[in-house]
Structure 1
């Protein structure tokens, strides 16, 4: 049997040719597989492995490979911290409508609470929030007491004035 130069035997005459054809069809249908190249092939590149990533700096010696590992997700347990209230609106109300000296102090500590929250210092924020709340409540109580005393004094003076002019 003579073969022509440059021609191969037909597929039916080759053993296992059907398997080869099937493999070629599968390779054509599936996406190409990833082939990993060694780091120190061809060009002299210098790498350093740090935390799972390859960075420039140190190279792998010949015969050694660098294994790249992706960082794995980890569960972090972060305590939920209650953000304290700053009591700004009630402090302004207490300053304007009740007793202004303690109302101004309540507004000051309300602003300090906001600053501490912005800085992430929850210990100071809680402390300043308590100060603002206590000063705001104190301002309302003092304001109410002041109003009651003022009404009592005005009523007493009005009663005296009526009696003084002889209408008692």
Structure 2
């Protein structure tokens, strides 16, 4: 692990639900390449690194502060889970309700890779946005709100910055 995680054991919430729906086997380099080819984008190194610790799941800290209101709250958005690199689990990048599903079936804008779902059950999502960097660059992280005509809200300039910026929901009580 690089310095972007001090202690990975304090990042993921352990639950039967996460193990059943989100957590895939540790991705091989070959699987990473296959998923990248299938999605059409290179995954950020920090994303692959996080998935090496646990391939998908539910974070302990689920809120990301915002400077503007969203359908979720006036000052933050909430993530429910992070999709693992794989196809097997329902909530994996190429799984049953993965990134392509959100674009093809829910008509989310085709701007990158949808990697995180929200407590709204699909009505807003987190996306690695490749519009500014191209398919092989370092994507920004945005929140896309289906309930507000797919409004895109900038969150972080990188996946690593997004992960470092997650805070516990108690910060907003």
Normalised TM-score (structure 1): 0.20
Max radius of gyration: which structure? 1
Structure number having the greater strand percentage: 2
